[in-house]
Structure 1
Amino acid sequence: MSSFPLVVCCTAGIIALLAGLGCETTSDDPAALLAASRQAVENNPDDLDARYEFGVAALEAGSHREALASFDRVLRADSSHAGSWSGTGQVLSLLGQQKRAMAAFQRAISLNPDDVAAHRGLGLIALHQQRYAAARQSYSRAVELVPKHAPSRYNLGVAYSKESAYEEAVRQMRRAIELDEEYVLPYVALSRIYCAKLGECEEGVRLLRQALARAPNEILLHAELGSAELQLGRADQAVAAFQRALRLDSVAVEALVGLGTAQAQLGQWAASEAALQRAIELNPVFPEAHYQLSLLFMRQGRTTEAQQKMETFERINVYFDQIRHYRSLLADNAHNVDALIGLGTILARLGMPARAAAQYEKALAVAPSHAEAWHNLGSAYFRLSRLEEAIQAYRRAVDLADGYAQAWTNLGTAQLVAGETAAARNSFQRALALAPDAADAHSGLGNANLREGNPRAAIRRFQEALQLDSTLTSGHYGLAMAYGALGDTVRAAQQLRIFQRYSEQQPTSAP
């Protein structure tokens, strides 16, 4: 495991990047603080300081929309209020609007070059975007301004490690531990660096045991210790560590995979298979579980099952870095719209429409006017045969973005399947008005012609579609049906053979 969690600045589960807040909460009861701040604004609506403090309180209480509105009200009255720009950046970052968040943080720094919150915010965005040199620069400046801030030291270490500057990464991680010995993540990161990069895994184990002496109930530490012991060839000790992690959290997927891997090395095949199957049940897109299960089956001579699992591993592993990246973003901020949509898109590509739909629904709960999320949700519903809901979602997408040609095409497809041929024709025509070279929209009109009993017109449409995309399976299949309707069995059979050939070369397409 070579990736590291990223940290903003967390206390009591609340992320705080705002100027003046540092890593200290301003109240043990964020709800009470929010109520008091709201009352202060109601008592004096023109008091900008009160509005700013209300924005801070709303952010701390997780009321992001209220926070954004409050900071915006301050900035409309005083566009040079650096704290409100920092606050705006933090809210936008939490909402997954990274480009706008960067602009807000940069504006804050232009007004106040010593705004440590803005530097940290830019650093975190850069880490998420894998711009490690920029992240290093931002966190270096943040550390210059506030040297004794452990999370900034940690994230600076992450940036150095991603640039393969392991000596400096170790220095920053160790400094983070010196500043806060209870801080778990630097111990984990150091263990990974020592084991995976420096060949000093025993030092990694020592650090993890040191951390566990202080935090014996930290699941991450037990799981990481299991991984280190496994790397050192001590499978029995690895099993014990993973089992301790699972006693604390029975659905910790990485611990289950580690346990299954260690048990396989000890010849405990039944227990290993149970652990790995449970991991896959909990997270079917965790590739290592499929890989280890394939190896286990191979050891047992179950070659067909082993091959199937290896094929699943290879299919999922293509997306693993992206999946891990999106999940890292969501671990920091469960409301990151871009990450939710990105993860949903991968799940859809992997043939998991129900899981994809769940991600899009979460995104829309945060950003109900996001046309792409509505479109993608419609596609997930379509694949689940939830036609009415698919049509509603596609309609919402085109209502929000009338020029969204693909959404019009997919709306037409769903309407056609639902038997709404006239409505489907209108949708396909709208798509072609926006994108005349949209092969799938031409094919859709061909299908509408077939439904209306006009195979000759359908043939012309399918041929237009195939001139634009000769591999379009729906075009070849439609031609086969149209030729069949005219009694031309030779051409129909020819198109069916082409359809079958292309279908074998690519996944079956759906909106």
Structure 2
Amino acid sequence: MQKNTLFALFISLSLATTPLLVTAQTVDQLYQQGITAQNDGNYSKAEAIWRKVLQQLPKDAYAYFYLGKALYFQKKVDEALAAYQQAIQLNPNDVRAYHNIGVALADQKKFDRAVAAYRKAIQIDPKFALAYKNLGLLLYDQKKVDEAVAVFRKAIQIDPKNSNDSGNAENIPTDPKKLDATAYNNLGDALYYQKKLDEAIAAYNKAIQLNPNYAYAYNNLGNALRNQKKLDEAIAAYNKAIQLNPNYAYAYNNLGIALRNQKKLDEAIAAYNKAIQLNPNYAYAYNNLGNALSDQKKLDEAIAAYNKAIQLNPNYAYA
């Protein structure tokens, strides 16, 4: 936990000013209580604690930062943004506040402003790997894929071991300069989009090496392998994703596609039906089920599946 520099002042003056020492201890205790509440996911309690801190230390930038996080996880996004801005006003180099502003603005679909916030965080701290990763995600979503690839590579260059294996619930690892395995997965997605399949596969494998329980990376690896016509390897990757996450409807659907490509139609149909069982609104799986049934000349069943896909998505245009 980063401590407000006022703590050092409180402690240094403790021998001369006993009441000030009492205040410092009280604030320190509140800090610990606030962090504990936040880590426990009790964000309303955390909010109340940070407001108590600010009653005693109204210019405490760190308390505003933590208040912002507590508000954000209560979906009080506008209030969270105001708290982060107050933190920045008091500490213009608060890189974490700029980063979290980016996260909150992205949630509000204010993508250009979110990009600007991430870039400001990076300007303040060029080694802030997580800001690069989240900036890359926004650029990827905006179809700025070349730039996203460069940003993801920069994130990985800064922290090649992705040494914080899993971010916490707030999308901010314990050490804000550390990544998790998703940085490699995201790089893989961007490379896949660029049809650089060998590089994408290498990135997905690195993500899996860092986090062997990363079902999403196994699914994406399967997609890249399937596009290379390496169907046995793709099927193994999809099955691993399903083993790790038995409720992974997308992996079942992708498994069905690979099995159909191998002409294993009964198995493909079983996979599609499982995807639909897990996600009854999965129009793409109904369409794929229709394809497999059509291959088996079960045309009435195929038509029913296609009609269901169209019912779920009237603009459906997959073949």
TM-score (norm 2): 0.78
Hey, what's the Cα distance between the residues in 2 that align with 1:120 and 1:316?
38
The gaps in structure 1 that reach 5 residues or longer are 1-18, 22-42, 321-511
**Secondary structure of the corresponding residue to residue 96 of structure 1:** coil
**Alignment counterpart, residue 166 of structure 1, candidates 120, 145, 151:** 145
Match of 1:132 among 111, 132, 144: 111
Structure 2's unaligned 5+ residue stretches are 4-21, 163-179
Q: Distance in 2 between matches of 1:139 and 1:149?
A: 10
Candidates 255, 259, 267, aligned match of 1:259: 255
How many Å apart are 1:303 and its aligned residue? 3.2
Which amino acid counterpart does residue 199 of structure 2 have in structure 1? Answer: E
* Pair 1:245-2:224 in alignment: no
Residue equivalent to 1:376: none
1:99 is aligned, of 78, 91, 102, to 78
CA shift, 1:44, in A, is: 6.7
Contact 1:191 1:204 in 2 (8 A): yes
What is the alpha-carbon root mean square deviation over aligned residues? Answer: 2.6
* Mapped pair 1:141 → 2:120: yes
* Offset of residue 276 of structure 1: 1.5
State which drifts further: 209-218 or 229-238.
209-218
Q: 2:161 aligns with which of 181, 189, 205?
A: 181
Identify if the C-alpha distance between structure 1 residues 214 and 47 changes in structure 2 by more than 3 Å, giving closer, same or farther. Answer: closer
CA displacement, residues 341-386 of structure 1 (integer Å, 9 cap, x when unaligned): xxxxxxxxxxxxxxxxxxxxxxxxxxxxxxxxxxxxxxxxxxxxxx
Contact 1:136 1:159 in 2 (8 A): yes
- 2:53 aligned partner: 74
Deviation at 1:319, TM superposition (A): 11
Give the equivalent residue in structure 2 for 1:20. Answer: 2
Per-residue deviation, 1:65: 1.9
Contact map agreement 1:143 1:152 (CA 8 A) in 2: yes
Distance 1:165 1:258 in 2: 26
Are the structure 2 counterparts of residues 311 and 102 from structure 1 closer, same or farther at C-alpha, using a change threshold of 3 Å? farther
| Correspondence for 2:95 among 98, 110, 116 | 116
Q: 1:242·1:255 contact (CA, 8 Å) conserved in 2?
A: yes
Three-state SS of the structure 2 residue aligned to 1:140 is helix
Shift of 1:119: 0.9
Whose radius of gyration is greater, 1 or 2? Answer: 1
Q: In 2, Cα distance between the equivalents of 1:243 and 1:121? A: 36
Q: Secondary structure at the match of 1:47?
A: helix
Judging changes above 3 Å, is the alpha-carbon distance between structure 1 residues 312 and 118 closer, same or farther for their aligned structure 2 residues? farther
The answer as to whether partners of 1:114 and 1:145 remain within 8 angstroms in 2 is yes
Matches within 5 A, 1:310-325: 310-317=306-313
Between stretches 74-83 and 58-67, larger displacement belongs to 74-83
Q: Report whether the alignment pairs 1:65 with 2:61.
A: no
The DSSP-based 3-state class of the residue aligned with 2:143 is coil
Indicate the residue corresponding to 1:191 in structure 2: 188
- 2-side partners of 1:93 and 1:307: how far apart? 47
Displacement after TM superposition at 1:110 (Å): 2.1
For the Cα contact (< 8 Å) 1:132–1:160, is it kept in 2? Answer: no
- Conserved? CA contact 1:184–1:221, under 8 Å: no
CA 1:145–1:316 in structure 2 vs 1: closer, same or farther (change >3 Å)?
A: farther
Alignment of 1:188-337 (within 5 A): 188-196=185-193, 198-317=194-313
Q: Measure, in 1, the Cα distance between the counterparts of 2:59 and 2:251.
A: 49
1:138 deviates by: 0.9
Paired residues of 2:207 and 2:214 also in contact (CA < 8 A): no
Aligned length: 280
Over residues 50-101 of structure 1, what are the superposed CA-to-partner deviations in whole Å (9 max), with x where a residue is unaligned?
A: 3233212211222212211101112234432222221121112111222222
Say if 1:300 and 1:240 are closer, same or farther in 2 by CA, change over 3 A: same
Q: Is the 8 A contact 1:150 1:180 kept in 2?
A: no
TM-score, normalising length from structure 1? 0.51
1:279 Cα deviation from its structure 2 partner: 1.7
Q: Distance in 1 between matches of 2:240 and 2:219?
A: 8
| Kept after mapping to 2: 8 A contact 1:123/1:135 | yes
Q: Distance in 1 between matches of 2:304 and 2:65?
A: 51
**Residue 90 of structure 1 pairs with residue 69 of structure 2:** yes
Question: Partners in 2 of 1:110 and 1:162 — Cα distance?
Answer: 30
Counterpart Cα distance in 2 of 1:180 and 1:195 = 20
